[in-house]
DNA sequence: GAGAGCTACTATCCATTGGTAAGTAATTAC
DNA sequence: GTAATTACTTACCAATGGATAGTAGCTCTC
């Protein structure tokens, strides 16, 4: 066994994991899905199609910029569809694709977890803050 | 019915939804869970406990700053536990709590979705980019 | 026909966040 | 005394995200 310095070993480990990262698209896609607005938009569309301004009103706190940005990337990823009706004024409907529907099931499960376990989390926070005063 | 300007109505709608946001803790917690590093850390800990540096090596691309930050908030939220062994050098183990384990099941499901559907997403992206040239 | 209003966005500016890289503490090994 | 270990901080800077205002195209009202 040849002697390797710690620096060499660290560099080797880094190279291995960088390669792993490049070859494994899961992390990238998971990072994409792990977005605040993505989960909210998908959850909002789960019951049925919605218009742009309805989404903006339903998802409290989203800016038009982020709403448009999120909708565009979700459309590009084939998770939602965008339908323009050239009436006056223009009407744009967004809906989940079959792919998006399969994802929505999981994300609403996470949402449901957040709902049922929020009290546990809040209790944990209070305990933590009591034990670790600022 | 008194006349209301559009500005007034917009302000009213904003106030309503801000109130809704404040009363509904789900959105806040969901936003917390919808974090790139949160899902990666929970997924990494799902098989079993891990040390700080092991997590840093397993999760490619995470900086010590973000790793510490993510671990702290997850500990505060009662999702992971932190155990310090005062050896030399110090050894710190992180593990999922029962609460964290219940969440891990959902997040690994999302991870599995990303794995199985990545080809669909990539195909959708190619189609989109062909139809919408820069 | 002038102004307000509707929808679905862009554009701009600025505060916050996140990444990079270097430093720290306490101790052992050489 | 120098290097190495682990588990972090800290400082700096680029990039992201949020608030706000503006735009286009048409209609409706007065």
Residues A42 and A29 in one domain: no
Q: Do A57 and B123 touch (CB under 8 A)?
A: no
Residues A27 and A77 in one domain: no
Q: Which of A130-134, B38-42, B57-61, B105-109 has the lowest mean pLDDT?
A: A130-134
Torsion angle defined by CA atoms of residues A53, A59, A61 and A62, in that order, rounded to the nearest 10 degrees: -60
Q: Which domain holds residue B16?
A: 1-34
Q: Do A57 and B17 touch (CB under 8 A)?
A: yes
Residues B54 and B118 in one domain: yes
Instruction: Kindly state the tokens that stand for A30.
Output: 């998971």
pLDDT of residue A132: 83
* Closest nt to residue A35, judged CA to C1': D17
- Phi, psi (5° rounding) for residue A91? -125, 130
pLDDT of residue A19: 38
Query: Do you find a cis peptide bond into B5, omega within 30 degrees of 0?
Result: no
Residues B29 and B88 in one domain: no
Q: Do A35 and B34 touch (CB under 8 A)?
A: yes
Question: What is the count of structural domains for chain B?
Answer: 2
Question: Which of A76, A99, A103 minimises the CB distance to B128?
Answer: A76
Question: Which of A75, A99, A129 minimises the CB distance to B128?
Answer: A75
Residues B44 and B79 in one domain: yes
Residues B53 and B67 in one domain: yes
The Å distance, CA of B64 to C1' of C30, is 29
Question: Which of B111, B120, B125 minimises the CB distance to A30?
Answer: B111
Residues B44 and B109 in one domain: yes
- Per-residue pLDDT band for A102 (boundaries 50, 70, 90) equals very high
Residues A24 and A61 in one domain: no
pLDDT of residue B20: 44
pLDDT of residue B2: 47
Mutate to test the interface with B, among A6, A34, A80 (most CBs of B within 10 A): A34
Nearest C-alpha neighbor of B44 from the set B27, B61, B30, B29: B61
- Provide, as residue numbers in chain A, all residues whose Cβ is less than 8 Å from the Cβ of B12: none
Cα(B80)–Cα(A108) distance, integer angstroms: 22
Rg (CA), chain A: 21
Cα(A105)–Cα(A13) distance, integer angstroms: 37
Q: Other C-beta atoms within 10 Å of B62: how many?
A: 19
* Mean pLDDT rounded to a whole number for chain A: 83
* Mean pLDDT rounded to a whole number for chain B: 83
Nearest C-alpha neighbor of B79 from the set B96, B62, B102: B96
Residues A48 and A114 in one domain: yes
Strand extents, DSSP E, chain B: 50-51, 80-85, 91-96
Residues B24 and B43 in one domain: no
> Is the model's pLDDT at B7 over the cut of 90?
no
Q: Do B40 and A27 touch (CB under 8 A)?
A: yes
pLDDT of residue B6: 53
Residues A6 and A53 in one domain: no
Share of chain B above pLDDT 70, in %: 81
Cα(B94)–Cα(B81) distance, integer angstroms: 6
The Å distance, CA of B128 to C1' of D17, is 25
CATH number at residue A77: 1.10.10.10
Local structure of B5: helix, strand or coil: coil
Local structure of A86: helix, strand or coil: coil
Distance of CA A118 to the CA centre of its chain: 19
Strand extents, DSSP E, chain A: 50-51, 80-85, 91-96
Residues B75 and B120 in one domain: yes
């Amino acid at each position: 066994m040849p002697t390797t310095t710690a620096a060499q070993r660290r560099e080797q480990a880094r190279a291995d994991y960088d390669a792993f990262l490049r070859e494994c698209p899961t992390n990238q896609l998971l990072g994409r899905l792990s977005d605040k607005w993505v989960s909210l938009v998908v959850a909002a569309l789960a019951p049925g199609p919605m218009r742009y301004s309805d989404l903006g009103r339903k998802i409290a706190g989203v800016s038009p910029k982020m709403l448009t940005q999120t909708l565009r990337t979700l459309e590009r990823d084939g998770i939602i569809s965008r339908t323009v009706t050239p009436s006056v004024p223009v009407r744009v409907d967004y809906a989940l694709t079959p792919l998006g529907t399969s994802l929505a099931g999981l994300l609403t499960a996470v949402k449901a977890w957040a709902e049922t376990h929020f009290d546990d989390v809040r209790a944990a926070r209070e305990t933590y803050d009591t034990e670790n005063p600022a």
